[in-house]
Structure 1
Amino acid sequence: MTTRHYDVVVLGTGPAGEGAAMNAAKAGKRVAVIEASPRVGGSCTHLGTIPSKALRHAVKEIIAFNTNPMFRDIGEPRWFSFPKVLDRANRVIDQQVLGRTEYYARNRIDVYFGRGRFKDAHTIEVNTYEKGPEELVADKVVIATGSRPYHPANIDFTHPRIYCSDSILTLSHTPRSLIIYGAGVIGCEYASIFCGLGVRVELINPGKKLLSFLDDEITDALSYHLRDGGILIRHNETFEKVEGSDRDVTVTMASGKKLRADALLFCNGRSGNTEKLGLENIGLETNSRGQLAVNDTYQTAVENVYAAGDVIGWPSLASAAYDQGRSVAANMLGLEGGHFISEVPTGIYTIPEISSIGKTESELTAEKVPYEVGRAFFKNTARAQITGEAVGMLKLLFHRETLEILGIHCFGDQASEIVHIGQAIMKQPGELNSLKYFLNTTFNYPTMAEAYRVAALNGFNRVF
C-alpha cells in the first residue's frame, strides 16, 4: 500500500469540499480530495441542485410555449416526457463535471476516486476504484461528504414505483399521478416540475403550512399558485404505511386516508453521509441524522478535523456550503476570510421561484421592532409585462425611524437574482443600509431591478 503525505485532505468534492480544497491550494498547500463517486461534483452536481434546477428551467420553458398565444403560429401545445427534459439536465451535469475536473487539475490537487476511511485522526485509507488501497497522511482533514435522502426503515425504496429525490432522476417514464411526501424545499420544487409536465400531484405536508421559515405572505402566495396549477396540498398529514404494487402505490395516512397514485416521491429530510467514514476510530460521534457538530470555525471535537456543508446540517444549501468550505480552509490555515456563515439568502426554485434574506414580518413583530412594508407587484412593472412573467412581487421590510432595510422577500420570475441587489445594500455599514438608496438611485428602465424603487416609494409613502 502506497502512503502519501498532504497538508490537507478533503473528503468529498461537492461545494463545501471544492471550496476548502481550492482555498487551501491557493495558499500553496499540498491538497488531495477523495470522492466516493466516479466523477467530481458531489450530490449537488449529480443528484440535487444542478439536475433539479435544470429540470425546472426546461419545464418552465415548456409552460411558456404551451401558454403563450404567440406560439400558436408555430404549432399547438406540446406534451414532453420526464425523460425528455432529463436529457437537458444530464447535458448540464456533464458541463459542470468537465469544468470542476479542470479546476482540480489547474490547481494541482490530487483526486482519489474511492471511499475514504479514517484509521486515525491523521491517516485515511482510500480504496480507490483503479489502483486499490492507498494511505493518505494529512496535517488537516476536512469532512465534506454531504448528505443523502432520509429513508425510513418501513418504506421499501427498492420498489420500482417508490422514489427518493436521488432515485427520481432514474425515472424512465412520466407517471400520470404522483404523491410527494414532504413539502420542504425539495418537495415543493418537484411538485412544480411534475405539475408543469401535466402530472396530477398530491403534496403531503406533515406540518401546518408550506415552508414555514418564509415570510407568511410569500408562503401564502406559493400555496395559492401551486394550487392554481392543479396541485392538491394536504397539511398536517403523516404516513402510517406505504404499499407498492404492480399498478400503483398506496399511502395510508395516520388520519385514516388512503391515497393512491402511479408513483411516490418521498422527500422528507436528509441524512449526513458519515456512516462509513470510520469516525469511531477518531472518537467522533454524529447525531441521529448522521450530522457532525462543529464550533464557529467549523472545527469538530477532533483538533485537526473540520467539517462543512450538508454533513453539519443547517442551512444545507450549495451556496452556503461553498462559503463554509472556503472559511474552513481559512480558519485551519490561519488565512484571512475565515468566518461563520450565518447570513444566507434562501433560493427556492419552485415555479414561480422564491428568494429572501433577513427578517420576516412575524420575526420583527415578535421582536417588537417598529417596521414598515414596501411592495412592488410585478404585474405593474414594464419588464414583467414585456416578458409575460407578471406573477409575483418584491417586498421590503424596513425600520420606520432609521429606514434600515431589515428583510427582503421576493416571489416571482428571477427572484433568486433580484434579491442580491437588496442583499448588497443590507451589508453596508450604518446609514448606508437605508431605504433612501433605492429612492435616490436611478435604475435602468425597463428592468426587474426597478421593482426596488417602486417598493421603496410604496414603503416611504406609508411613513411620510
Structure 2
Amino acid sequence: MFDRPGVYTSEEIFELTEAPSSLAIVGGGVIGLEMAGVFEALGSKVTVIEKLPRILASEDAELSQELVRNYRKVRFMTETAVESLEGEAGQLKLSLSTPEGLAELEVAAVLLAVGRKPNLPAGAGELGLELNARGGLKVDANMRTSCANVYAVGDVTGEYTLAYVAAREAEAAVWDILGHSHPVDYAHIPSIVFTQPEIASVGDLPQGLELKSGSFPVTALGRARTMEASTGAAKVYVDEKDRLRRVSLMGPNVTELVSWASLAVEQGLTLAEFLKPCYPHPTMAEMLKEAAEDARGLCLNSVPGGSSTKAYLASCRA
C-alpha cells in the first residue's frame, strides 16, 4: 500500500528539495512529532495520524498534551488507522478509519513514522539465533545472543533503536569479550524528543506503586522568561522513601539536563540528596530544583494559587 512515489521514510524525506504543500505523517511517536515540527515550520499543512488514544504515548500524558496544544497549525487524528492509499506524488488520497467512521484525506506527500522492523543478517536462522518478541535478535544485558561468541548490538535487536543506546551496547559487548562485565542498564536510559519545545525523561512509573510527585512550570522560571519560552514543565516522581523514580521535562534545551536526572534516578538519590548541589540562577536547571522542592512541599517559588503545573499553564492560555 505504501510502496509508491510520494510516500517517504524518515530518511527519504530529507531528499526532498522543497517542502510539500501538505503532508500526512503516519505515526504520532518521536519521529512523527519531530518531523511535524520541522514541516510545520517549513510551511507544510501537516496532519499526524496515530492509532493510539494519544500522541507521544511513551511520554508524560500532561506534557504530551501540552505539546499538541503548542503545535497549533498541526492537525492531530488519534485512534485513527490508514485503511488504504491511492494516487501518486502530489495527489495522494488516504482512506482513514476514525472513531467517527470512515474519512478521506488528500495530501501531497506521506511520511511513514510507525517504527521499523529489525533487518536480520543472512544466516541468522541457520545459526539458531533466538528472536525476541519484537522480531529482533534476543540478547542479554552484555549483548550475548543465544549462540556462543555471537553478539548483537543496535537496531538488529529491535529493542531501543537509538544511536546512543547502540553505542552503549557496543561498549558492553566489547567489555564482555575482554572478560569484563559492564551490562547495559536499560531501565535508566533517557528518552529525548527534539520537538519545539524539547521533551526528555528517564525512569519509569511502576504499576501498583504509589508515588509522590512535584512539578514546576517553565512560565515561572526566570531563565525561560528571558528566552520567551511559555510552554513546558519539570515533573519528578519519588517513592515512599523519597527516592527519585522518574523525571519528565519539557522546555528549551531540556535534553541537555536529562543526563543529570538519569544519574540521580539510576543512583536512587533521595530528594534531599538531589537538592544538595547548588543550582545556579538563572538557568533552566533550576526547573529540576523547583520540582524536587515542590515534591517535598518546600517550593519557595510556587506559582500563585498553588504549584499545579497543569492549572498554571491553563491559566496562561486563558
What TM-score do the two structures reach when normalised by structure 2? 0.86
| Pair 1:241-2:87 in alignment | no
Equivalent position to 1:404, from 221, 243, 247:
243
1:345 Cα deviation after fit: 0.8
Q: Give the equivalent residue in structure 2 for 1:268.
A: 114
How far apart, in 2, do the equivalents of 1:457 and 1:246 lie? 53
Structure 1 unpaired stretches of 5+: 1-153
Alpha-carbon deviation of 1:438? 4.3
Aligned length: 296
Q: Which residue of 1 aligns with 2:256?
A: 417
Higher helix share: 1
Correspondence 1:347 to 2:192: yes
Q: What one-letter code is carried by the residue in structure 2 that aligns with 1:294?
A: V
Q: Please give the per-residue CA displacement for 1:108-138, whole angstroms capped at 9, x wherever unaligned.
A: xxxxxxxxxxxxxxxxxxxxxxxxxxxxxxx
8 Å CA contact 1:373, 1:459 repeated in 2:
yes
Distance 1:340 1:444 in 2: 30
**Identity, % of aligned pairs?**
28
Equivalent-residue separation in structure 1 for 2:260 and 2:139 (angstroms): 31
Task: Return closer, same or farther for 1:246/1:412 CA change in 2, 3 Å cut-off.
Answer: closer
Change in 2 beyond 3 A, CA 1:244/1:330:
same
1: CA distance between counterparts of 2:199 and 2:271?
A: 22
Q: Is the 8 A contact 1:270 1:289 kept in 2?
A: no
CA distance in 2, matches of 1:380, 1:281: 60
The aligned counterpart of 1:368 is: 209
Tell me the residue number matched to 2:219: 379
TM-aligned CA distance change 1:248 to 1:323, over 3 Å = same
- In the alignment, is the contact (CA less than 8 A) between 1:306 and 1:328 conserved in 2? yes
Letter in 1 for 2:63: I
Give yes or no for contact 1:375–1:455 (8 Å, CA) kept in 2: yes
Read off the aligned partner of 1:249 and give its amino acid letter.
Answer: L
Alignment of 1:428-443 (within 5 A): 428=267, 433-443=269-279
Q: How does 1:282-361 map to 2 (within 5 A)?
A: 282-284=127-129, 286=131, 291-360=136-205
Q: Could you tell me which residue of structure 2 aligns to residue 461 of structure 1?
A: 297
Alignment of 1:104-119 (within 5 A): none
Gaps of 5+ in 2: 300-318
Flag the 1:387–1:287 CA change in 2: closer, same or farther, 3 A: same
For residues 165 and 243 of structure 2, what CA distance do their matches in structure 1 show?
A: 25
Change (3 A) 1:411 1:246: closer
Conserved 8 A contact 2:215-2:290: yes
Residues 394-431 of structure 1, C-alpha deviations (whole Å, 9 max, x = no match): 111123x52211210001111211222222222336xx
Query: Residue 141 of structure 2 aligns to which amino acid in structure 1?
Result: D
Instruction: Kindly indicate whether residue 96 of structure 2 is the aligned counterpart of residue 253 of structure 1.
Output: yes
Q: How much has 1:286 moved relative to structure 2?
A: 4.8
Which SS does the other structure have where 2:246 is aligned?
Answer: strand
Contact 1:324-1:340 at 8 Å conserved across structures: no
Question: Which residue of 62, 70, 77 corresponds with 1:217?
Answer: 62
Distance 2:181 2:134 in 1: 32
Residue 281 of structure 1 deviates from its aligned partner by 4.1
TM-score normalised to structure 1 length: 0.60
Aligned equivalents of 1:280, 1:212: Cα separation in 2: 34
Partner Cα separation in structure 2 for residue 322 and residue 350 of structure 1: 23
Q: 1:341 to 1:325 in 2, by over 3 A?
A: farther
1:232 aligns with 2:52: no
Contact 2:27–2:112, Cα closer than 8 Å, also in 1 = yes
What is the distance in 2 between the residues matched to 1:380 and 1:240?
A: 45
Contact 1:352–1:411 at 8 Å: present in 2 too? yes
The alignment status of 1:446 with 2:293, answered yes or no, reads no
Equivalent AA in structure 2 for residue 224 of structure 1: R
Shift of 1:287: 6.5
Change over 3 Å in CA distance of 1:357–1:339 after alignment to 2: closer
Does structure 2 retain, via aligned residues, the 8 Å contact 1:327–1:340? Answer: no
CA RMSD of aligned residues (A): 2.2
Task: Indicate the structure whose relative CO is greater, using CA pairs within 8 Å and at least 6 residues apart.
Answer: 1
